[in-house]
Amino acid sequence: MTSDRSKLAVLGFPISHSLSPVIHRAAYETLGFDWQYDAVELSEESLPAFLSALDGRWRGLSLTMPLKRDVVPLLDWADPLVALVGGANTVLVTDEGLQGYNTDVEGAMRSFLDAGLSRLESVWIVGAGATAASLLVASIRLGAARIEIIARTPAKAQPLKELGESLGARVVVRQWYEPPSSTEMPSAIITTVPGGAMDLEFDESVRTAVALFDVAYDPWPSEVAKSWMAVGGTVISGHDLLINQAIAQVRIFASGSPDTPLAGEADAIDAMRAAIEPSPDHDHS
């Protein structure tokens, strides 16, 4: 990897809502990296041509909806986690080709741990897309043995069911408004659908006892997050996941490994959060 690779971007469609440029730029400034990070609106159809046109100025890419799965067959090398979850959210551009990684699993695990949830017994996952697959793997790695997937189209959740079962969990798929298969409370409820599409409601008894992990962050707080906050429930936000998966991306862009901590990493994380969240004594809205 040559030192003059300084261009990076987040790719997706739509992309205008993405906070990735804000947090990555904050991290690079704090870490002293002279890199440029932009947002590029790109459809699945345009992805192959875009990737093939990358030149020696490019260092890496972040991928968001709907490209995490479409990029996989276009990679020259992929971390085993990419094959496991069926999606990559990070591409490192090297002289040897495009290397794919998934930092959503690591980011989700960090977010649970930051919230004091070091051990999960069971989870409900709302949604059945690429992000849901990463959250499922993260949950199982933190001990979840029972998983319920709530999907508008249950057939779309079948690959997730098979993934969870292959990792030793018991997985149940249920229709959007169908009642839970058990009266037992989960350790966490994870919502992976866009904020505006999340129209399920949960009893106060659930909201006070069960942590909510809402990966949506536009708008934030989402309606479901507000309902949890109203009763003093535990909420893990999409901002938490965004920052935690992004710092793993920065590690990859800097060293080629998601496991190599950065000098000044804690300061970079603080800068990323400050860039997207109002400080307690000053409202940026």
Question: Which CATH number do you get for residue 147?
Answer: 3.40.50.720
Residue 281 lies in a domain: no
Residue 1 has pLDDT above 50, yes or no: no
Residue 218 has pLDDT above 90, yes or no: no
Domain boundaries, position 255: 7-102+245-276
Distance in angstroms (rounded) separating the CA atoms of residues 83 and 111: 23
Q: How confident is the model at residue 195 (pLDDT cuts 50, 70, 90)?
A: confident
User: Quick one: DSSP state of residue 211?
Assistant: E
Q: Output the six-digit token pair for 250.
A: 């920065």
Q: Which residue out of 7, 68, 156, 161 is catalytically annotated? A: 68
Same domain, 36 and 134: no
- Residue 284: the pLDDT is 38
Residue 164 lies in a domain: yes
90 contacts 24 by C-beta, under 8 angstroms: no
Same domain, 85 and 187: no
- Residue 130: the pLDDT is 86
Residue 1 lies in a domain: no
Residue 285 lies in a domain: no
The distance of Cα 92 from the centroid of its chain, to the nearest Å, equals: 17
Distant-in-sequence, close-in-space partners of 276: CB < 8 Å, separation ≥ 6: 19, 22, 23, 239, 242
- Residue 186: the pLDDT is 97
Which of 147-151, 152-156, 219-223 is predicted with the least confidence, judged by mean pLDDT? Answer: 219-223
Give 195's Cβ-side CA count (13 Å radius).
Answer: 16
Distance in angstroms (rounded) separating the CA atoms of residues 145 and 172: 11
Compute the mean pLDDT over every residue in the chain, rounded to the nearest whole number.
Answer: 94
Residues 93-143: tens digit of each pLDDT:
999 999 999 999 999 999 999 999 999 999 999 999 889 999 999 999 999
Same domain, 226 and 134: yes
Q: Considering its fold, how many domains does the chain have in total?
A: 2
Residue 111 lies in a domain: no
- Residue 283: the pLDDT is 43
| CB-based burial, 262-277: b 16+ in 10 Å, e otherwise | beebeebbebbbebbe
- Residue 277: the pLDDT is 87
* CATH code at position 90: 3.40.50.10860
Determine the 3-state secondary structure of 144 from DSSP: coil
Same domain, 69 and 126: no
Residues 14-47: tens digit of each pLDDT:
999 899 999 999 999 999 999 999 999 999 999 9
- Residue 244: the pLDDT is 97
Same domain, 178 and 94: no
214 contacts 191 by C-beta, under 8 angstroms: yes
Residue 257 lies in a domain: yes
- Residue 279: the pLDDT is 67
pTM of the model: 0.92
The distance of Cα 135 from the centroid of its chain, to the nearest Å, equals: 8
Render 153-197 in DSSP notation, one character per residue. SGGGGHHHHHHHHHTT-EEEEEETTPPPS-SSPPSEEEE-S-GGG
Residues 55-97: tens digit of each pLDDT:
999 999 999 989 999 999 999 999 999 999 999 999 999 999 9
Same domain, 143 and 198: yes
Same domain, 14 and 64: yes
Within a 10 A sphere around the Cβ of 215, how many other Cβ atoms?
28
Catalytic-residue membership of 68: yes
Residue 2 has pLDDT above 80, yes or no: no
